[in-house]
């Protein structure tokens, strides 16, 4: 698919202006020129599967309601009463019609007015088309619901290009929420998102995983979007070369330890089926097998375990297609995820009002389940970002950097960020895309 061409000012592969992160004026430009023109992830289709189900998506001063109509269509409207401006919905739920709690006006799920108290008082000067709910563009991809306030913006599939070419093989649309968490982070929304847009920080922030995993990554830009993946030649289960020579290593035990660490400290990037597959390596491979042969066997066992548990394995998902997709994707402007065969770890960052120093941050895990066994988790608001009990070790390690980064960027000694042009290319590309929109 055709990729977007970027026109940028002040951003290079190895430089990002400091004002991007701390300037109220820059945040105001984002509010005026970025958020109204972008396709934004509002939620997941599973939240609005049935007629009357709705979700409310807030971004800056705007609020949008996505609803499943009585005809089964997905619709979105500005979340505002055309009478006196009250918001109509909050959170998510199910309704028979839109209802304003101020004066009792109400509308069909298609946004048409069906109840105006004392409508005759307007003497016929209140036509339906003037008091219908105002529609917003809505579409979906891989189970995510996207909204866009700009009628001139390209179609969603074009906006996402070329990401679907890499990611559709994962069949994320068949996954469902495993857990959902939200907090307020003491950092600009871009600072928060960038912590998950590159793998360069792992060798310091998450050094414990180097015992079982290489950490050198290659980042790439894909139009508006970006991704990173681990450099070829060092299979999972082997320690990072940064640790030096460590003698004979049993890659099987490294794979098991890695996934146990993810289970215990993150509660995602693996499934119970993955854990069983990893443990089977002890019986179905030997310590003398080549690491890549062990990895190929693990891929086979992982598929077997998922299918034996009633969880379909994506038909086109192979080790080569997984390697091609990489580890993590940034979908412009404000979502990042790490995808896997049966799971996904996702992040979304949004500005917290007009404050450039804080943001609303959502973290969620997806997993593929046997039909009828999908959980229905509610969003948990967890304010203590240092609580390992709430967030797990890995996320608290990420969060502990946020406030110091945001405050440090305000220093007279900080002229701008100097991203690694090989491992953090997705970060600089992120800012190049923003500058295109706010110019």
Whether 320 and 242 map to the same domain: the answer is: yes
Whether 33 and 58 map to the same domain: the answer is: no
Q: What is the mean pLDDT of residues 28-56?
A: 98
Q: Is 218 within the bounds of a domain?
A: yes
pLDDT, tens digit (0-9, with 9 covering 90-100), for 153-206: 999 999 999 999 999 999 999 999 999 999 999 999 999 999 999 999 999 999
Whether 48 and 30 map to the same domain: the answer is: no
Whether 364 and 424 map to the same domain: the answer is: yes
Supply the range of the domain harboring residue 374. Answer: 1-37+162-248+314-439
How many angstroms separate the CA atoms of 164 and 307, rounded?
25
Q: Is 276 within the bounds of a domain?
A: no
Output the pLDDT for position 9.
58
Whether 138 and 175 map to the same domain: the answer is: no
* pLDDT for 216 beyond 50: yes
E-state strands within 124-224: 137-141, 144-148, 176-185, 217-222
The side-by-side arrangement of strands in the sheet containing 62-68 is 74-78, 62-68, 53-59, 92-94
CA 196 to chain centroid, in Å, comes to: 10
Q: What is the mean pLDDT of residues 266-289?
A: 94
Whether 97 and 146 map to the same domain: the answer is: yes
pLDDT, tens digit (0-9, with 9 covering 90-100), for 166-175: 999 999 999 9
CATH number of domain containing 98: 2.102.10.10
Q: Are 79 and 42 in contact (CB under 8 A)?
A: no
Output the pLDDT for position 103.
97
Whether 371 and 426 map to the same domain: the answer is: yes
Whether 326 and 373 map to the same domain: the answer is: yes
The two three-digit tokens of residue 381, written as one number:
């608001």
Q: Of 152, 176, 204, which marks where a domain is finished?
A: 152
Whether 237 and 359 map to the same domain: the answer is: yes
Q: Is 294 within the bounds of a domain?
A: no
Whether 136 and 49 map to the same domain: the answer is: yes
Whether 226 and 338 map to the same domain: the answer is: yes
CATH number of domain containing 232: 3.90.380.10
Output the pLDDT for position 347.
99
**Domain tally for the chain?**
2
The answer to whether the Cα torsion of 302, 307, 311, 317 is positive or negative is: positive
- DSSP per-residue codes, 358-400: EEEEEEEEEE---TT----PPEEE---TT-HHHHHHHHHHHHT
Q: Is 200 within the bounds of a domain?
A: yes
How many angstroms separate the CA atoms of 99 and 265, rounded?
43
How does strand 225-230 pair with strand 328-331?
Answer: antiparallel
Among 428, 422, 414, 430, CA closest to 330: 430
Whether 412 and 340 map to the same domain: the answer is: yes
């Amino acid at each position: 698919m055709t990729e977007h061409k970027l026109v940028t000012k002040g951003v290079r592969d190895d430089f990002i202006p400091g004002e991007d992160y701390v300037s109220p004026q820059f945040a105001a430009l984002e509010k005026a020129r970025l958020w109204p023109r972008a396709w934004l992830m509002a939620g997941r289709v599973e939240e609005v599967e049935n007629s009357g189900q709705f979700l409310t998506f807030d971004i800056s001063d705007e609020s949008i309601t996505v609803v499943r109509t009585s005809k089964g269509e997905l619709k979105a409207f500005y979340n505002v009463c055309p009478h006196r401006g009250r918001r109509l919905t909050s959170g998510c739920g199910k309704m028979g019609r839109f209802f304003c709690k101020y004066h009792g006006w109400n509308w069909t799920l298609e946004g048409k007015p069906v109840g105006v108290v004392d409508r005759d008082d307007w003497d016929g000067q209140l036509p339906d088309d003037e008091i219908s709910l105002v529609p917003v563009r809505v579409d979906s991809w891989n189970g995510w619901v996207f909204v866009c306030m700009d009628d001139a913006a390209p179609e969603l599939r074009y906006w996402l290009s070329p990401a679907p070419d890499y990611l559709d093989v994962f069949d994320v649309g068949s996954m469902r929420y495993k857990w959902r968490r939200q907090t307020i982070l003491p950092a600009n929304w871009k600072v928060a998102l960038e912590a998950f847009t590159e793998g360069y920080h792992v060798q310091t922030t998450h050094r414990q995983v180097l015992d079982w995993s290489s950490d050198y990554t290659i980042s790439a830009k894909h139009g508006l979007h970006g991704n990173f993946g681990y450099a070829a030649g060092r299979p999972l289960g082997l320690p990072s070369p940064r640790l030096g020579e460590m003698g004979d290593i049993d890659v099987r035990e490294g794979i098991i330890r890695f996934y146990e660490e993810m289970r215990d400290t993150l509660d995602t990037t693996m499934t119970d089926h993955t854990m069983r597959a990893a443990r089977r390596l002890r019986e179905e491979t030997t310590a003398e097998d080549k690491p890549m042969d062990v990895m190929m066997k693990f891929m086979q066992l992982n598929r077997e375990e998922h299918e034996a548990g009633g969880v379909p394995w994506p038909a086109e998902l192979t080790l080569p297609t997984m390697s091609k997709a990489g580890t993590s994707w940034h979908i412009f402007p404000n979502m990042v995820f790490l995808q896997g065969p049966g799971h996904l770890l996702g992040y979304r960052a949004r500005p917290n009002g007009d404050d450039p120093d804080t943001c609303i941050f959502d973290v969620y895990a997806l997993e593929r389940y046997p039909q009828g066994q999908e959980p229905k988790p509610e969003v948990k608001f967890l304010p203590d970002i240092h609580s390992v009990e709430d967030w797990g070790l890995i996320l608290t390690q990420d969060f502990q950097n946020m406030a110091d980064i945001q405050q440090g960027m305000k220093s007279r000694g900080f002229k701008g960020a100097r991203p690694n042009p090989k491992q953090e290319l997705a970060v600089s590309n992120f800012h190049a895309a923003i500058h295109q929109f706010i110019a």
